[in-house]
């Protein structure tokens, strides 16, 4: 496929498109983290979105941009997590049918999470692959439009609106730290910020268990990684071997990437809860984890914005972590 460049105009357009449907989130000071690092740290609270994560922005923009015929047919995806919720919620807001395909093994809480936001759940087969096949079948036979979670120009532009908001609220920000998985979030934010304020440092952070984008950057092309149980479950999965957009955008626009451990993620969840009274999921706190662990070098008073991307966490696991336990899902899976 040809590479389509996502411009600042696309992101400005996305901002206008999604404004009525998506929360414009606050950028709040993080005093304890500022004291601990010597930097001036502020948190972009995407966890406040109605679906609990930023993915609503990209999903809303992608559905808004469909033509009338596609809107009439509806959309489909097979994510059971934050993307599925975002697509369900956005489609409902815009009066479009959304089918979320999942396997029989998906836990009831996830099914309820999608249904609550107005999505039509289609149970198909016993694995994620079966669910994907059903989504493909709906595309081919019923003409539903597949909405990709990250490698899609309108999704990337939607996530990029976060970058515009950070600059509106903090024009002289020095560094922006962003969780990284498939890279739609970071690619969009980087495209917005490098267009407006090119000297801003962009840092992507992910977990050391299966960091697909970081391994791909090292290899010079998209590669597969082995998926492992992690507290940052929303950062799991690959970037697609046929990646069209996010790999090149991250390679060309992002200054640094770094990895954090499970214990560092748990410590960051605990710190955000105790210091800021915030419940954030593991994948959302990797930026805070990297700063706390000294993995991102910061100068005194450096102005650092950190994106906190979501709050959809298993509360039984969360309360154990908040109570001081370094939960390791890999050990528990073995037990």
Ligand X SMILES: *Cc1c(COP(=O)(O)O)cnc(C)c1O
Query: Which residue, 163 or 283, is less far from ligand X as judged by CB?
Result: 283
Rounded to the nearest 5°, which phi and psi values hold at 121? Answer: -95, 130
Residue of 15, 44, 55, 110 marked active site: 55
Distance CA(171)–CA(191), nearest Å, equals 16
Residue of 79, 148, 261, 309 marked active site: 309
DSSP state of 7: P
Are 185 and 239 a contacting pair, CB within 8 Å? no
- Report in angstroms how near the CB of residue 53 gets to ligand X at its nearest: 5
- Counts of helices then strands in the chain (DSSP H, E): 15, 10
Q: Tell me the C-alpha to C-alpha distance, in Å, between residue 334 and each of 172, 228, 282, 326, 331.
A: 48, 12, 20, 16, 5
**SS3 category, 116:** helix
Rounded to the nearest 5°, which phi and psi values hold at 112? Answer: -60, -40
- Report in angstroms how near the CB of residue 114 gets to ligand X at its nearest: 14
Are 201 and 174 a contacting pair, CB within 8 Å? yes
Query: Which residue, 40 or 153, is less far from ligand X as judged by CB?
Result: 153
Indicate if the alpha-carbon torsion angle 190, 191, 194, 196 is positive or negative. negative
Q: Which residue has the tokens 């994560």?
A: 53
Residue whose CB is nearest to ligand X in the complex, by number: 310
- Report in angstroms how near the CB of residue 88 gets to ligand X at its nearest: 14
The HSE-up count of residue 156 (CA atoms within 13 Å, CB side) is 29
DSSP state of 230: -
Strands 27-29 and 40-45: antiparallel
Burial of 82 from C-beta contacts in 10 A (0-12 / 13-18 / 19+): buried
Active site residue 194: no
Active site residue 55: yes
Task: Summarize as ranges the residues that interact with ligand X (CB under 6 A).
Answer: 53, 55, 82, 150, 179-186, 234-235, 281, 283-284, 309-310
Name the region of 183 (left: φ>0; alpha: ψ -120 to 50; beta: rest). left
Neighbours of 68 (CB within 10 A): 6
Which residues are known catalytic residues? Answer: 55, 309
């Amino acid at each position: 496929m040809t590479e389509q460049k996502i411009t600042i105009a696309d992101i400005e357009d996305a901002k206008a498109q999604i404004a009525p449907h998506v929360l414009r989130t606050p950028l709040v000071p993080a005093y304890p983290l500022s004291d601990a690092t010597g930097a001036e740290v502020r948190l972009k609270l995407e966890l406040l979105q109605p679906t609990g994560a930023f993915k609503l922005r990209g999903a809303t923009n992608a559905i808004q941009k469909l033509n009338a015929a596609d809107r009439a047919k509806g959309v489909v995806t097979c994510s059971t997590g934050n993307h599925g919720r975002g697509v369900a919620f956005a489609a409902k807001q815009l009066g479009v049918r959304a089918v979320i395909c999942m396997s029989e093994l998906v836990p009831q809480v996830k099914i309820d999470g999608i249904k609550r936001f107005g999505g039509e759940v289609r149970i198909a087969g016993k694995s994620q692959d079966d669910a994907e096949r059903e989504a493909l079948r709906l595309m081919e036979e019923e003409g539903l439009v597949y909405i990709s979670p990250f490698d899609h120009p309108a999704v990337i532009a939607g996530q990029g609106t976060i970058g515009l908001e950070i600059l509106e609220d903090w024009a002289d920000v020095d560094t922006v730290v962003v969780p990284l998985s498939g890279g739609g979030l970071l690619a969009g934010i980087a495209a917005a910020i490098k267009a407006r304020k090119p000297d801003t440092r962009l840092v992507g952070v992910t977990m050391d268990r299966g960091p697909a984008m970081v391994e791909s950057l090292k290899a010079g092309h998209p590669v597969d990684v082995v998926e492992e149980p992690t507290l940052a479950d929303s950062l799991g999965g690959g970037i697609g071997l046929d990646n069209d957009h996010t790999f090149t955008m991250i390679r060309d626009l992002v200054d640094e990437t770094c990895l954090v451990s499970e214990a560092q993620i748990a410590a960051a969840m605990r710190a955000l809860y105790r210091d800021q009274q915030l419940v954030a999921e593991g994948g959302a706190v990797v930026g805070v984890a990297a700063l706390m662990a000294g993995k991102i070098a910061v100068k005194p008073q450096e102005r650092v914005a950190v994106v906190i991307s979501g709050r959809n966490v298993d509360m039984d696991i969360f309360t154990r972590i908040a109570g001081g336990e370094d939960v390791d899902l890999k050990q528990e899976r073995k037990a």
